[in-house]
Structure 1
Amino acid sequence: MKEKLRLLLGLLLLIIGPAHGLCPVWTPARAASEITRLQQQLQRWDDAYYRAGENQVSDADYDSLLQRLTIWRRCFSAAQPAYAPQLPANGKVDHPVAHTGVKKLRDKLELAYWMQDRQDLWVQPKIDGVAVTLVYEAGRLTSLISRGDGLRGESWLAKAAWIPAIPLKISSHAPRVVLQGELFLKMTDHQQSRDGGKNARPQVAGALMSQTPGPLLAQIGLFIWGWPDGPAAMEARLQQLAVWGFGLAQQWSQPVSDEEAVAAWRDRWFNAALPFVTDGVVVHQAARPPGKAWRPGEGDWAVAWKFSPPDVTSEVRSVEFNVGRTGNIAVVLNLQPVQLDDKTVRRVSLGSLRRWRSWDVIAGDQVAISLAGQGIPRLERVLWRVGERHYPLPPDPERFTPLSCLSFTPQCRQQLLARLSWLSQKSVLDIAGVQRSTWLRLLDTGRLDHLFSWLTLTPEQIALASGISPTRAQQLWHRFNLTRRQPLRRWIYALGIPLPRGALNALPDATWQEIQQREPQYWQALPGVGAVLARRIHAMLQDASIQKLMLFLRQQGIPESLSAQDGDS
């Protein structure tokens, strides 16, 4: 009982919790406009898919945007019925048994909740193809009907003779046998994890909708997943289907007792060599009502658990501009948190302002995120842009350079904080245990006037910072003072002078006055320094703000000894 309650609670959190947190702050008028725009786009995709067999958007992206529409409608118009695909209603042939479709479950927790208290369950690959009804009367194929709206579809009987996988006769004397299945493009050693969808389903749909038979029809296979009024026992059903020539169902059906077994088969089929394209698994309950009771969208005796896409979708909550140590402005998207593999992704970097403008992404847009090398989140594409676009104002790039923000002003907070954080690194001044959060607390005290003000802080002044105890303050003061022993080359690097590591290691001991007086030719003679960089280094050392900081360091007696060795450079 406790396990059932746990599963129910988890499912409620999945359904209710996220929707509450995803409601955008929109006026009713804007909400109505945005909902209408997205709904119209879904309808256009539905029309292209169901009428023309064109797959203009991936299933994962479609499902994500459909979920987003559902959330928006709950937020602003809860009384409205849920959106349903606009299936073609111009079919000319009635299905003797309606196509119910299968509900898609999001994860193993939802599957476990659905499986509890159900018996005689079977898992099959979810074939990525085109659903059809086959009708045999006295053993002879009399109808091949497209899914259509689940109640009526188009007759494709003329194409059956060109598809060897469809038996035109079966050894049955029953007045009528109704089967439901999937026409799919045959594959050889198709590995879903490696090969993806291969555009297989649109090819099948196109071949079936074509006015004239084409060579692709011979490459179409058939997987029967439904015999509405067949034997009650799944084993008997599968055995008889195999006798009639529909052996794939028996070959690719496995009994399962819990969600772990389903997950194991799902993982196995995702990575195995298969004769068809798949996009997940379907779990069937052997017991189901008689065919006359089937209705579109009401089949609760089978569910689908699709494969995880290589990326996940999220909504952009805000656009953030971060000024880095050298004045470069990086754009970061703050996202509605999503799970990607074992990572919770809340932010993704876009890089420069130019890239942000080329992506044209703002708060409210729906984006797809993947993990690049070393698990770094990466923006893959923008799925949907809100209609009403309010662009945040980025910082002026002209105000931030490698020489700006060496002293504190409110506008310089980000860049100075980035400079301070960089100072702590082992390769710079090696201030152990001092993180960005530490510098942020010290900045908030108002006692850091410039890049090296921390050298003059007393333990008592450091302890004034929020969250820093007197003991911790004493440790920080000691570590700050240890930097005085660092050699001159480290302090030149700490100033932000862009010397390559080889040039730093080759830099001889000198005084601050000598460093200021050296001409570009001197810098160019160092390893890794060309003419352009040499002139840049020389210009930076002549800058008034840099000279002011060098004077401060001289007054502080830094470095303590010109003979100090930079042992870990």
Structure 2
Amino acid sequence: MTSSSTRYADPEENPYVEEPPTDFEPVDELSTGTAERQAELLRAAIREHDHRYYVEADPLIEDATYDRLFDRLRELEAAFDLDTQGSPTRRVGGEPLDALETVEHVAPMRSIDSAKEVDAVREFDERVRSGLREAGFDPEDRRYVCEPKFDGLSVEVIYEDGEYARAATRGDGLEGDDVTEQVRTVRSVPGRLRGDPPGRLAVRGEVYMPRPAFETYNEELIERGEEPFANPRNAAAGTLRQLDPAVVAERPLDVFFFDVLGWETAGADDDGDAPDRPDTHWGDLLAFDDFGLRRTDRVERVDGIDAAIDFRDRLGEDRDDLNYGIDGVVITLDDHDARDALGSTSRAPRWAFAYKFPPRTATTTVEGVTVQVGRTGRLTPVAELDPVDVDGVTVSRATLHNPAEIEALGVNVGDRVRVYRAGDVIPYVPEVVEKRSDGTYAFPETCPVCDAPVERDGPLAFCTGGLGCPAQLERAVEHWARRDGLDVEGLGPERVETLREAGLVESLPDLYDLTVADLADLEGWGETSAENLIAALEATREPPLDRFLAGLGIPDVGPTTARALAAHFGDLDSLLAADEADLRAVDDVGPTVAESIRTFLDASENREAIAALRDRGVDPEPVETPGDADTAPLDGLTFVFTGSLSVTRGEAQAHVEAHGANATSSVSGNTDYLVAGEDPGRSKRDDADAEGVPVLDEAAFADLLEERGVAWPPAADA
């Protein structure tokens, strides 16, 4: 039995824990004080019931009884206008979000080196032994913790003074999408920690959809005539990125926590009882139990690499009996001091390794080949297969990568092939196991969508139709409307397809000829949605130059390169006139990217599209470019931004670049200042300390700019 000190509610003090009464008096007969007291008891009891059901799988009450307690709490909160901050009722979902914001992690969420071969695992162990020896540790006195490598979506979850504060996806390891409201709805994520947690605790977990729940959910989608998810991982990832938390709350997500990203003892409510972080990873996992953080019970602490290998083999035998997906075992050095001594590379720790299971394969027949056309015109051949089960997933399509891969395989329609699938990797064909056809599939010489000639570029093939190709057009319009492009709300893939099929959008500039009358009669549209889209398009007629360039979909030009181009050239005409030598003068633009930009801008269909956009009044705003010291007061300075400022990070970077400075994403010896807003990432501050880089808060940063004649915030320049 869990001790009362680590429970959310003591049954001796809370009547709603064991055999709770559910015959409640009418709320209009309660005083405010009585209602508040009952609500607090209900909240504590519901937290206890959530933990017993979702974490310990040992419920105390029937589902119907739980529902009555939950409904009573909502009734009290509504009737007496009680503060619901931290209440279990918030799990049903909050207001829909406009977009997912990007936030910085408190510590890097690194990937892990991995292999499927046992020799690679032993080599990892040898590197650990050698590193420990060099650092003064006894290489024979080492323990490993072995855990499943979950096949879900990795998240960072932060608790402040024991209360749930924030959640973010892994993203690029340094920054991720803010999914605080979405993760709040996952029942196995505590809204409040048990016991005496540290003042600030950041943990890493894996959100997943249990296999039985996934199968049931997919059946419901099919019954509603909707597209089912391909696998549980896709279902979890797609759900967590929903902008409406209420939608997330309806889907059966779960979580396992498995690592500590940050542990700060001092907090606003620290009374000296909060524990210091344990000395070992094993101790971290035991602390999770005390705090009510759900972790897997399929974990062992072992002596030596042979025992770790044995654990992996045993878990592999039980793999199909688990209700969650795994693709291997993570082997982690237990001792924190030893881990610190070994350190990490830029992408992965030296003290952990993933020993993966062999990929799941199956044999089937190629029934056809479909050639897909991407946004850049790249043609990707896809094998249409006689459906076959691969690791519990029915696979009917697999990529053939490119024409060169088809030629290397010698594959054709009718051949028996091996299909390979591992984790969330798109299934592909590694070999032909039985040749049943004559010859090799003949790759088309013209685009299957627009009939334009196909050009080969090494192993790849491209449609030369440009924006005149309907397939490329759809992808181009979708890219134009993306958040890191022109951010046109209401213009997703389905609507783009509808507009093209209706003949309303046959080129990118056609978007700006649309009227409310054109849209209102389309299936799935109405006058309100039509007016909203037209208004969203109107708002993009004078876009920032960098967003215009990013929205065009120039190969190799993402938001960062687009900002650099805008800051360097200042206006669109200067960029259009630039040759490759001029382009290579831009920071981070090398010969390959310069050639890619010039090739895109030289294509007649792209030039015509840009001219047509400008004819329709879509003309990007010029930006101030660095000149002499009078016009470039920040010339020679390099800034890095972290945390939340009064403007977005992109706006801050563009502002200093417009006045001659450089803005980079990581701290180095060349950085002059790190500007830290609210909730800054620890990794950049640590790097700044290591490099001796001054750290400015936003007020000090504003003072620095003022000394050089630059206003802050940017709007003050207007």
TM class by smaller structure: 0.3 to 0.5
Which TM-score applies when normalising by structure 2?
Answer: 0.34
Which TM-score applies when normalising by structure 1?
Answer: 0.42
**Which has the greater radius of gyration?**
1
Identify the structure with bigger relative contact order (alpha carbons < 8 Å, sequence gap 6+).
Answer: 1
